[in-house]
Chains A and B, each alone.
Chain A
Amino acid sequence: MAVLTAPHPKPPVPTPSRGGRARSPRRTPPLVLAFVLIPLLAESVWVFWPALQGFYLALTKWDGVSAPQFIGLDNFREMAHDDVFRSAAVHTVLWLVLFGGLSALLGLAAALLLQQERRGVGFYRAALFLPVVFSLVATALVWQAIYQPDGVLDQLLASVGLDSLRHAWLADQDTALYAVIVPALWRQIGYVMVLYLAGLKGIDPALYEAAKVDGAGAWQRFRHVTLPQLRSVNAVVLSVIVIDSLRSFDVVWSLTRGGPYHSSELLSTYMYSTAFQSLRLGYGSALAVVIFVLAFGVIASYLVRAFREAD
């Protein structure tokens, strides 16, 4: 409990800097240290240690009951020949591109549309943000009712004379994946919109005025002022999207459980069903490691690039 030693009797009053660099404090106050160390301790017990154990479990064969049996890299070798893993990986990439790409694009579009303070704009913002508030499982139940045979969507299609398009949307391997992306998107757009709205608010209006004076049109202002100014928000949005894509689980699990016959399987649902349904916890952990490496790889490489550009 070194962090709890008595603090300095009189904390030094930082002298205001006069144009030069601010003087760094002589030593970190114990209270600050405590605020860092205690959460770190909690985090290492409840997050880091289990995560490390997950890495170890990826190298074992384990049914959750007997002791794990060390098998080296066999799980990863099996993955190389596993068709379901391959299709789950392809679906995850597809999900990342469609769900991630569309939610970023549509979120940005919504933010641009709703950034100006007009009468009633608050209502539209709230309406778009509302799905974020609902639990994803509840969202999935609502969408299940929409998609089911003779559900809302099919009735809508029939009422406009598109009977031929009526479909068991979630039970057909050709449409299941796309059908589950829609509710996920419906929820994500509001969230991304809020991030971009915050970014847009931070842009100095003088830049737009200057651009206008220079004769820039609306598109040019967007292309040369808005987009570059949003760079820092983009990094946040990308991180959020990549993480949300790779952990997208609840909506898929509630709607299709990765089926029919793995056609909407993502790496996350495959990991869950392998670990907790088929009770192959070693292989499930290996899948979790792959997901971690993917998420970490994508985000780290983007952030490194973004920071390099910023320098």
Chain B
Amino acid sequence: MANLQPSRRRLLAGLGAAGTAALLSGCVTSTSSGKSSSKGDVTLQSNLSAPQAKTAMEDIVAAYGKKGSRHASLNTVAAETFRTQLPTYLTSANPPDVYTWYPGSVANAYARKNLLLDLDEVWNSSPDLKRYSKAQNRLCTSSAGKKVFVPATYYWWGMFYRKSHFAKWGVRELPKSWDDFLDLCDKLKSKGVAPIGLGAGGNTPWVASAWFDYLDIRINGAQYHRELLAGKHRFDDPEVRKVFDRWQEVLPYFDPNGVAIPFQDATTALLNGHTGMMLIGTFFADAAPKSALDDIDFFRFPIVDSKVPLAEEAPVDGYFASARTGRREQVLDLMSYLATAEAQETYIKGSSGTVLPCNPDAKDAGTALVKKGRAHVDSAAEITQFFNRDSSDALQPTADTALTKFLAKPKSIGSILTDWQRDAEKIWNA
């Protein structure tokens, strides 16, 4: 045993040295200037971890690498991890450079804390971005008037159904007004079908927020809705109460399993004809079998008050960059590439193809559904994003609690709204 001692000692010395080195390097990082290295590839941190979307992002990065001397490296992180880690990434001393994320109030919250790179230069120099719509411009501008976001794609929400099922149930006309909608619900119910699927169970309670968003923008308008989510109105105001009064009218038509199953299962129920229709975004089509895709159609969420300007939910996805990046020039170069029609078409080709490009010159997938979706969004006077995007991820759990409680106990709406306001105040004051 004795002759083993020296080697054991050496091992310990090695361990000790390694530990000290780790400690020292930790100290160095924490006191560094807060700039990442200006050498090497620009890093693109992506939350698009679904197989098709991930491949599409790899295609973009590969195409960018082939284009010129500059390269990007893609780092795909699971969506939930990405969301919880994003503040850490942005505040770290050595952050990834570019991130996939959302514009509007979500980006603005980070911009106000000086964590996002000013992209004015890209917006002023890129011939592509100059042609982007005014709405896109506004959405990508922070409250301080700086451009902080480059949009890439968007999708839309609507009442989705299967054409063949509606034909079988004898539905000839699609509803436009709230009364038409209630008639349709009656008709579907008489056929033994649960008229409205939901999917707010499991890990997707946020789906219920779509109903809140739509009823609010149909009754109180998009402007009021955005102000409400920004804390300028109260959730226990009579205007919000009106939203739930309407919602109560359709509650009997909701699938009783709506709060027990996640939206993926609710989608299956819709495709199998157990439910008649569903308010959902086009992302649900990612999991639909190809054979069913041609049979899927949608109609506009019914008009409740014709005096309220028409608004639709059309969440935009795209990119922002860390203000602490050490590769500013490379980041700006990559950003201007991501805004091109080529990059966005590459993404659409590689992914399921149900999203629309933000670049007005880029071609979409060209299917009938996508064409109809584009017209649907274009005809809206106002665009909203979604509950968490128009407010914050932090406010979403308060909505999940309030809305699932309302679905289970619609009569206690008074106390539900009081509690919602109290919970929301904690977030706004945080």
Binding site for B on A (CB under 8 A): 1, 3-4, 7, 31, 34, 38, 41-42, 45, 61, 63-66, 144, 148-150, 168, 170-173, 257, 259-262, 273, 276-280
Main secondary structure of the interface of B (DSSP, over half): helix
Contacts of B259 in A (CB 8 A): 168, 171, 260
Q: Is B115 an interface residue (CB 8 A)?
A: yes
Closest to A282 in B: B430
* B: number of interface residues (CB 8 Å): 42
Bound complex: CA A276 to CA B86 (Å): 11
Contacts of B16 in A (CB 8 A): 1, 3-4, 34, 38
CB <8 Å contact, B110 and A278 = no
Contacts of A168 in B (CB 8 A): 201, 256-257, 259-260
Contacts of A4 in B (CB 8 A): 9, 12-13, 16
Partner of B87, one of A61, A144, A277, A279: A279
Bound complex: CA A38 to CA B87 (Å): 33
CB <8 Å contact, B260 and A38 = no
Could you list some 9 contacts between A and B, CB below 8 A?
A: A38-B12, A38-B19, A64-B91, A168-B260, A172-B408, A260-B259, A261-B405, A261-B408, A278-B394
Closest to A256 in B: B202
Binding site for A on B (CB under 8 A): 5, 8-9, 12-13, 15-16, 19, 23, 26, 84, 87-88, 90-91, 110, 113, 115, 201-203, 205, 256-257, 259-261, 265, 392-394, 396-398, 400-401, 404-405, 408, 426-427, 430
Bound complex: CA A173 to CA B259 (Å): 11
* Given A168-B259, A262-B401, A66 and B113 contact (CB-CB distance below 8 Å): yes
CB <8 Å contact, B430 and A38 = no
* Given A65-B115, A260-B259, A276 and B23 contact (CB-CB distance below 8 Å): no
Closest Cβ of chain A: how far from B145's Cβ, in Å?
Answer: 21
CB <8 Å contact, B260 and A148 = yes
Q: Chain A CB within 10 Å — which of B5, B15, B261, B392 has the most?
A: B261
Bound complex: CA A279 to CA B388 (Å): 13
Closest Cβ of chain A: how far from B235's Cβ, in Å?
Answer: 15
Bound complex: CA A144 to CA B265 (Å): 12
Partner of B401, one of A172, A259, A280: A259
Closest to B201 in A: A171
Contacts of A65 in B (CB 8 A): 87, 90-91, 110, 113, 115
Closest to B10 in A: A4
CB <8 Å contact, A144 and B12 = no
Bound complex: CA A173 to CA B407 (Å): 12
Bound complex: CA A150 to CA B110 (Å): 44
Contacts of A259 in B (CB 8 A): 205, 400-401, 404
CB <8 Å contact, B430 and A61 = yes
Closest Cβ of chain A: how far from B271's Cβ, in Å?
Answer: 16
Q: Given A65-B110, A279-B87, 16 more contacts at CB 8 Å?
A: A3-B16, A7-B9, A31-B5, A34-B12, A42-B19, A144-B202, A171-B260, A259-B400, A260-B259, A261-B408, A262-B401, A277-B393, A277-B394, A277-B396, A277-B397, A279-B393
CB <8 Å contact, A170 and B201 = yes
